[in-house]
Structure 1
Amino acid sequence: MIVAYGVANLLQSVAAARTDLHTGFSPRLLLSLGKRKTYLAGLLCQTIGFLLAVLARRDLPLFLVQAAVAAGLGVTALLGVLVLKWRLPKAELALLGALSAGLAALVVSARPHPSRQLGLAGDVGLATLLVLIGAVGFFAARLHGSHGSVALGSLAGVAFSAAAVASRPLAGMHSIHHILTYPLLYLMIAHSLVGQLLLAMAMQRGSTTSAVAAMDAASAVPAAAVGLLLLGDEIHPGREWLAAAGFLVTLLAVIGLSFYAEPQHHPEAVRARVAVGAGSSRSANRPD
């Protein structure tokens, strides 16, 4: 799942940087991106990662799974070094080490347990949240630059967080008929589509890693809280401190990686480095 999300981040960032800027909150951006093979490949990787995440949420607490999803940014950074010739400062190596340590702490502290069901109140809450995200996203789409990137990335994270919350009890069901007739399935799909649109808009407005880091933070924290408070997520007795430390270290490492990779994720830099990676270094180094 971590590898799939890491590859998806890289491919989608390249596609978003090479697509004409869309300033409004419109699904036309996804249609434009859908014409690019790079984006479709990234979407396939993201779908694989999403399905693996759903399977993981069947027994694992959301604080572990969502932190692991965020850790995909570390894979993105490593792939950027190998494919797009990004630089990897020593500080970034330290952050990757911290990211691995944080995930290891979460794995050790997490206690597998099936989810509780949300009930009608949870379904209504997720539906209301979907409307609110769409309304706020309509106005956030008018923001540009880093502010727009972070705002839209955060909204995408909230949408993906809601999709994760919906998928946790859904993953524990064994009847296909029950799953297909359960409102959580369609709420999960709707939140995922809205989150995908918001993330694509965020990637177009500035640093991809700023957008992804904002998304990961906004996705991990609410889902972890809801999982512990409402869904019955469990921590091994006596390891609560380890879970808290692992979650905090993982989140801070992801945010730190975004700052170090920011110049390399700027749309112009992405275009230039894609050209370098494709063997067109002379063209990439010519002034515009």
Structure 2
Amino acid sequence: MTRLPDVLTRRRFFGVYPSPVMSAGWLFLAAMIAAYGVANLLQSVAAARTDLHPGFDLRLLLSLGKRKTYLVGLFCQFAGFSLAFLARRDLPLFLVQAAVAAGLGVTTLLGVLVLKWRLPKAEVALLAALSCGLAGLVLAAQPHPSRPLGLAGVVGLAIALLVIAVVGFFAARLHGSHGSVALGSLAGVAFSAAAVASRPLAGADSIHQFVTDPLLYLLIAHSVVGQLLLGMAMQRGSTTSAVAAMDAAAAVPAAAVGLLLLGDEIQPGREWLAAAGFLVTLLAVIGLSFYAEPQHGHAHSRARVPVAAGRGSHRSD
């Protein structure tokens, strides 16, 4: 009984009162999927309307920031990130990171309905497989708070940030589908590192502990680098391809770290379901990165996107 007030205080800091059986993380997870789906669509439209940046250039973010469409998409992405942060407080990383990929299904559905995207049958089948894999993970996941990451983990995240930035500098020279997949994958690794940082950070007992934790600033740095890499990836090819590559790269490292270091749990007897669900989800996302066709790449974005998304190609939206 002496520990009960501490638990309630920790929950109250983030406005969450989950129980082991019915965690509020499930609600955050569902809202996160919708937010990321809308964010991917809006940011891809803005990236297609922005002049192509051939290198690893932070000015791309400034150019994108002048467009209302990108800013709204960025707001949706921030909302999705915040919801994912809250979901990671109790839900394992292998579930949350795989669920991020489900936002791709929302993006694709909106693209078909709003921008009149045409999907090949293979892409439709892969999206169905993605949904089945995610369903398996939901049934297998066991809500549980995170363990502390430790000093070694903090240093590892700092080194990973430097490596991602250096590799991204050279990957920015790639163009077309290869550049889209390479840069999207690097963005995924950066977002995966941010997810690893956010899982233990979400268990902060107070605002002071939250703002003084180095994980917060590593989370922000990885997110900025990931956002830049994703913007460049979306300029070079299919939105589905870029986002699918990002989601695939974001899922595996975070899932491994969560299970090995952060105490993520699987419901007893459902280990096979978790493994199968994760494998199906991962293969579906990887498949989407290869089968996806460009919806509004720079080669034809000026001709197609304004017609599908709105009137006039000279608006800053």
Q: TM-score range by the shorter chain?
A: over 0.9
Q: CA RMSD in A?
A: 1.8
Work out the CA distance in 1 between the residues paired with 2:119 and 2:55: 35
Return 250-259 or 121-130, whichever deviates more. 250-259
Correspondence 1:57-206 to 2 at 5 A? 57-206=88-237
The answer to whether the 8 Å contact 1:209/1:265 transfers is no
Q: Secondary structure at the match of 2:263?
A: coil
Work out the CA distance in 2 between the residues paired with 1:65 and 1:220: 9
TM-score, structure 1 normalization: 0.93
Deviations 1:10-53 (A, max 9, x none): 11111111101111212110000000001101100100000000
Pick closer, same or farther for the CA change 1:273–1:2 going to 2, 3 Å: farther
TM-score, structure 2 normalization: 0.84
Work out the CA distance in 1 between the residues paired with 2:283 and 2:139: 19
Deviations 1:53-88 (A, max 9, x none): 000000000000000001111111100110001124
Q: More helix per residue: 1 or 2?
A: 1
Quote the offset at 1:140 in angstroms.
Answer: 1.2
Q: Secondary structure at the match of 1:127?
A: helix
Quote the offset at 1:245 in angstroms.
Answer: 0.8
Quote the offset at 1:255 in angstroms.
Answer: 3.0
- Aligned equivalent of 2:36: 5
Work out the CA distance in 1 between the residues paired with 2:162 and 2:171: 14
The answer to whether the 8 Å contact 1:22/1:29 transfers is yes
Q: Which runs of 5+ in 1 are unaligned?
A: none
Pick closer, same or farther for the CA change 1:89–1:137 going to 2, 3 Å: closer
Work out the CA distance in 2 between the residues paired with 1:272 and 1:119: 52
The answer to whether the 8 Å contact 2:296/2:304 transfers is no
The answer to whether the 8 Å contact 1:74/1:96 transfers is yes
- Aligned equivalent of 2:87: 56
Which residue of 54, 59, 67 maps to 1:36? 67
Q: Secondary structure at the match of 2:295?
A: helix
Work out the CA distance in 2 between the residues paired with 1:206 and 1:97: 23
The answer to whether the 8 Å contact 2:142/2:267 transfers is yes
Deviations 1:81-138 (A, max 9, x none): 1000112444443333222221111011000110001111111110111111111111
- Aligned equivalent of 1:46: 77
The answer to whether the 8 Å contact 2:146/2:200 transfers is yes
Return 29-38 or 208-217, whichever deviates more. 208-217
